[in-house]
């Protein structure tokens, strides 16, 4: 049976070119990048080249603004804890974020609250959009920073980052964005958009797991994350993950080069699938913004069914998809994102997230639509809720 992988927002496979670029740094180019002999310098040069390449992709003013981390979660943790700590005795203790952030942001914000910081969690509208007016109204004299995601990992909605960053700056608030889902999927020019800090991760763009970055604009203070040696300009000690960093940069450069072409291709397949599902299956609706959304994101709620049963039926046909974020599936709590856009619990439970990748074809999504039609009909046959609904109709 062919596997049809439609969970690219959860993770992606490494591209062969990325693996190839990484391999020498495990073996013959294994030197410690801090060592001054040639073997060390070879590794150091590779890291500096990777830093330059990544800075180029986001148009950072300097490669020194790019800090490599162990992934998106670490970058998110560091951004919030590091900036709030650095300004706590100066500007204040207030942080603004949203109700639809990834748990790497939400749980960090909750931790900061336990430490005595104050956090405002902004609501979103039914599409998952943050209101710039509500954001501005939430800013206080002691607001240090705002963290608003670039694009949501569940429903794909893309936030008005440029406008939000401009509002933040008008009030001298530092602006961080979790761009893990958007990096190399959407065009990101940190200078043009006014982003002060930004998180990204390798494994969401065909790079390795366990490596990511935090962009920190020059002039923004951030406390050191790992104390030890002088790596990452003394801010994050530990001997660099040379192979991972090389792989991350390679993946970013490759993804950025094909970004526009892939965006157009995937958006067309996405729209075809959404059109088919919402017209061929009764009692379902699209979650997220109809147009301001990631090119690869399909998120649809089906009434009168449980997402888990649907995923099992898709899985039996080789289709890998999800019904919430990877971290929340497996638990019985409905997605905090779907609740934040106003779905009642029972509708949030019956949702499908299918996220396309660079290899996904129109045939793949057509097959998914066919399997889905049968799966939903079969599940409804067995659903008491569906039976009640049918009975009321008569
Ligand atoms: C995947 C993801 C993360 C976490 O990244 P890791 O590299 O897996 O730690 C953070 N934020 C968003 C929006 C994500 O999609």
User: To test the ligand 1 pocket, which listed residue (7, 181, 337) has its Cβ within 8 A of the most ligand atoms?
Assistant: 181
- The per-residue pLDDT for 1 is 87
Q: Which of the four pLDDT bands, split at 50, 70 and 90, describes residue 32?
A: very high
- Which ligand 1 atom is nearest residue 74's CA? 9
> What confidence tens digit (pLDDT) does each residue in 228-246 have?
999 999 999 999 999 999 9
Q: Which of the four pLDDT bands, split at 50, 70 and 90, describes residue 177?
A: very high
Task: For residue 138, give both structure tokens.
Answer: 């939430």
- pLDDT of residue 327 exceeding 60: no
Question: Is 320 one of the annotated active-site residues of the chain?
Answer: no
Write down the pTM of the prediction. Answer: 0.96
- pLDDT of residue 329 exceeding 60: no
> Residues of the chain with pLDDT > 70: what percent?
97
Looking at ligand 1, which residue's alpha carbon is closest to its atom 12?
Answer: 180
Q: Which of the four pLDDT bands, split at 50, 70 and 90, describes residue 331?
A: low
212-216/66-69 β-pairing: antiparallel
- The per-residue pLDDT for 30 is 98
Q: How far apart are CA 376 and CA 337, in angstroms?
A: 23
Whether the Cβ atoms of residue 183 and residue 54 lie closer than 8 Å to each other: no
- The per-residue pLDDT for 393 is 76
> What confidence tens digit (pLDDT) does each residue in 264-290 have?
999 999 999 999 999 999 999 999 999
Q: Which of the four pLDDT bands, split at 50, 70 and 90, describes residue 394?
A: low
**Nearest by Cα to 179 from 158, 210, 209:** 158
- For the segment 75-104, the average pLDDT, to the nearest whole number, is 97
- Which ligand 1 atom is nearest residue 10's CA? 1
Q: Which of the four pLDDT bands, split at 50, 70 and 90, describes residue 325?
A: very low
- pLDDT of residue 332 exceeding 90: no
Cβ of 98 closer than 6 Å to ligand 1, yes or no, is: no
**Nearest by Cα to 357 from 288, 243, 269:** 269
Least confident span in 13-17, 185-189, 379-383: 379-383
Q: How far apart are CA 363 and CA 292, in angstroms?
A: 25
- pLDDT of residue 311 exceeding 60: yes
Task: For residue 342, give both structure tokens.
Answer: 């106003």
Give me ligand 1 centre to Cα 280, in Å. 33
Give the containing element (helix H, strand E) for 122: strand 118-122
> Long-range CB contacts (< 8 A, 24+ apart) of 288-291?
288/127, 288/128, 288/152, 288/154, 288/155, 288/156, 288/157, 288/341, 289/127, 289/128, 289/129, 289/155, 289/156, 289/157, 289/158, 290/127
- From the CA atom positions of the chain, what is the Rg in Å? 22
- The per-residue pLDDT for 89 is 86
Q: How far apart are CA 181 and CA 154, in angstroms?
A: 10
Q: How far apart are CA 99 and CA 96, in angstroms?
A: 10
> What confidence tens digit (pLDDT) does each residue in 208-226 have?
999 999 999 999 999 999 9
């Amino acid at each position: 049976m062919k596997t049809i992988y439609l969970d690219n927002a959860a993770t992606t496979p490494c591209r062969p070119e990325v693996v190839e670029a990484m391999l020498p740094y495990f073996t013959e180019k294994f030197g410690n990048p801090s060592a001054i002999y040639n073997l060390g310098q070879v590794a150091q040069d590779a890291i500096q080249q990777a830093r330059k390449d990544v800075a180029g992709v986001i148009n950072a003013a300097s490669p020194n603004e790019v800090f490599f981390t162990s992934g998106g979660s670490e970058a998110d943790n560091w951004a919030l804890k590091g900036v709030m700590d650095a300004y706590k005795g100066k500007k204040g203790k207030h942080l603004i974020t949203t109700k639809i952030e990834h748990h790497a942001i939400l749980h960090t914000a909750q931790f900061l609250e336990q430490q005595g910081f104050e956090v405002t969690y902004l609501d979103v509208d039914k599409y998952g959009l943050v209101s710039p007016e509500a954001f501005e109204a939430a800013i206080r004299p002691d607001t240090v920073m705002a963290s608003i995601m670039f694009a949501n990992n569940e429903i794909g909605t893309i936030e008005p980052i440029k406008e939000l960053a401009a509002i933040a700056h008008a009030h001298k608030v530092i602006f961080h964005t979790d761009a893990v889902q958007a990096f190399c999927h959407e065009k990101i020019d940190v200078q043009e958009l006014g982003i002060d800090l930004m998180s990204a991760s390798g494994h969401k763009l065909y790079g390795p797991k366990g490596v990511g970055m935090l962009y920190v604009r020059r002039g923004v203070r951030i406390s050191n994350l790992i104390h030890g040696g002088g790596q990452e300009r003394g801010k994050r000690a530990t001997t660099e993950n040379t192979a991972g960093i090389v792989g991350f940069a390679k993946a970013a450069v490759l993804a950025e080069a094909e970004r526009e072409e892939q965006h157009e291709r995937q958006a067309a397949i996405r729209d075809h699938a959404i059109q088919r599902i919402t017209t061929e299956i009764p009692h379902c609706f699209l979650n997220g913004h109809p147009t301001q959304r990631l090119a690869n994101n399909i998120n649809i709620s089906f009434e009168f069914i449980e997402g888990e049963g649907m995923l099992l039926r898709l899985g039996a046909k080789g289709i890998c998809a999800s019904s919430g974020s990877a971290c929340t599936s497996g638990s019985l709590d409905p997605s905090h994102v779907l609740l934040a856009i106003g779905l009642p619990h029972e509708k949030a439970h019956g949702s499908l997230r299918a996220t396309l990748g660079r290899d996904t074809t129109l045939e793949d999504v057509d097959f998914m639509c066919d399997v889905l039609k049968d799966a939903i009909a079969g599940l409804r046959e067995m659903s008491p809720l569906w039976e009640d609904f049918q009975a009321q109709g008569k």
